[in-house]
Amino acid sequence: MANTKNQTRAMLVEDEENARSALVALLEDEGFAVRAAADGAEALLILKAWHPDVILTDIKMPRVDGLELLTLLETQLAAVPVIVMTAYGSIDDAVDAMRRGAADYITKPIALDRLLPAIQRVLTRAAAQAATGDLIGGRYRLEGKLGEGAMGAVYRTTQLELRRPAAIKMLNRGHDLPKARARLLREAKACAALHHPHAVQIYDVGEDDGRPYIVMELLDGEDLWSRMSAREGPLGVAAALSIGQQIASVLIAAHRVGLVHRDIKPENIFLERFGGAERVRILDFGAALIAEPSAHAPRLTQEGAVIGTPLYIAPEQALCRDVGPPADIYAFGCVLYEIVTGALPFAGSNIEVMAAHIQAAPSRPSERRVALPHALDRLIMEMLAKAPELRPTAADVESQLAAIAAGEGLAPAPWDLHAAPRHAAARVEGPT
């Protein structure tokens, strides 16, 4: 007999009829109210009149596939968590889905003892988040979700007294409050210490009903990963040189004041539309390592914890060793590699990729893209050196990229990379 206690509404999107029928039966037996569709197009028709609490979708489907569905749901049902179902070993699909906003993924064949906990996880996380329309701190009205992760979400907001648009990052309820507060404070301190045109300005830090938050400027544009995904191939040498010089500029400033970002990746590199041009902004200093002057300053990460994203992680980070500026240079090298080739240095599962970062030699970018300046090919490989001391500094990278651009007859990066520090009173509008 079906469990009538569970009133959770679940949308199931699966093109294989037998698998779809079996999953519907399993979920209904657990008391879920289930609607099923054979592909994303059929699911979108159902979702016009019926809103589920959770969506489970396959990825490889005819017409609208799971990845396309995720993109469309970001604008139509952003508050509904999506779990993607992938074939065993399809780690690239899972990574792509998570980047597009999936709340979790589960590998096939689907077993109930893994599916139910996954559903519970994403529903618990969704319930802990703020909602559009909420008034935060008595002065920030939430207007829509810009993105989310395992710990919280970023929303568009307006500061009511000043009528100033902004972005607000809120951590979910249920997280260790002292650690959550410390993480956001660390991000605010990191950005405040930079005062750099390629960093993000922080407006406020606070706490609302047990949820720490940080308010920052709202940027207009897209992140580098979205740009590369839309292109479905390498962005090219000119883009690598322009974007690279701007990334190097902010890393020079960060490393100079003792900041190590520790999570440089395309999702944290924002291409801002500003004044008819475009400039790079570095996001999410929440994982940053800050050189504290006090021996009594609290450690914000546990000994042995891996900080960073496996696809871009430096060998010393993967080995849970002490990290410094060279770790950012390694991740930066991975990003440049991806910009010029359209591929990452290493692929595979998280464990396989981290093992490769530690011990495997990547193929040269020029082996994947023949028309690549030799100096750029050499620089990227130097940035990917296994030993931290063999990597160039951010200043070295910036000067070499500028020299390569000059040699290629390309215009300088569109922004003054050595502009005077931005002051808090400066008007810079725009999100993160």
Query: What would the pLDDT profile of 99-149 be if each residue is shown by its tens digit?
Result: 777 888 888 888 888 899 999 888 877 766 667 778 888 889 988 878 766
Has residue 313 got a pLDDT over 80?
A: yes
Give the pLDDT mean for 33-51. 91
- Closest of 253, 59, 286 to residue 152, by C-alpha: 286
Domain ranges, residue 37: 9-127
- Tell which of 193, 216, 239 closes a domain: 216
State residue 89's pLDDT score: 54
Residue at 3 is within a domain: no
pLDDT band at 428 (very low <50, low <70, confident <90, very high): very low
Please state the separation of Cα 120 from the chain's center in Å: 23
Residue at 45 is within a domain: yes
Q: Are 141 and 108 found together in one domain?
A: no
Q: Are 329 and 245 found together in one domain?
A: yes
pTM of this prediction?
0.69
Residue at 418 is within a domain: no
pLDDT band at 293 (very low <50, low <70, confident <90, very high): very low
Residues near 177 by beta carbon (within 8 Å), at least 6 away in sequence: 210, 212
Give the pLDDT mean for 403-423. 56
- Closest of 226, 283, 271 to residue 244, by C-alpha: 271
- Closest of 225, 202, 222 to residue 214, by C-alpha: 202
Q: Are 199 and 269 found together in one domain?
A: no
Residue at 1 is within a domain: no
Q: Are 288 and 264 found together in one domain?
A: yes
Q: Are 149 and 229 found together in one domain?
A: no
Please state the separation of Cα 222 from the chain's center in Å: 12
One-letter amino acid of 213: Y
> Best-predicted range by mean pLDDT among 48-57, 202-211, 268-277, 280-289?
48-57
State residue 32's pLDDT score: 93
Q: How many separate domains does the chain show?
A: 3
Has residue 327 got a pLDDT over 80?
A: yes
Catalytic machinery residues? 263
Q: Are 203 and 170 found together in one domain?
A: yes
- Closest of 96, 37, 416, 130 to residue 267, by C-alpha: 96
Residue at 28 is within a domain: yes
Q: Are 80 and 172 found together in one domain?
A: no
Instruction: Give the Cα separation of 223 and 201 in Å (integer).
Output: 17
What is the per-residue pLDDT across 402-411, written as a single tens digit (0 to 9) for each? 999 988 766 5
